[in-house]
Amino acid sequence: MKNFANSVKRFLVSEDGPTAVEYAVMLALIVIVCLTAIQAIGTNASAKFNEAANALT
């Protein structure tokens, strides 16, 4: 148990913890931007396909 406490203490003191959190936040923001862009493209594509289908009928 003492070994575990020492490793947790070293992790909290080192710079690796905050760096990992920063990378996780950046990754989350990138995923949100990508999902928003994909949704916008999908909506626009759907509208164009519906427009083309209505023009054919």
**Environment class of residue 44 by beta-carbon count within 10 Å: exposed (0-12), middle (13-18) or buried (19+)?**
exposed
pLDDT of residue 20: 81
56 vs 45: CA distance, rounded Å: 17
What is the residue-averaged pLDDT of the chain?
88
Q: What is the pTM of this model?
A: 0.59
pLDDT tens-digit map of 29-51: 999 999 999 999 999 999 999 99
37 vs 7: CA distance, rounded Å: 41
Q: Is the pLDDT of residue 16 over 70?
A: no
What is the maximum span of the chain, computed from C-alpha positions, in angstroms? 76
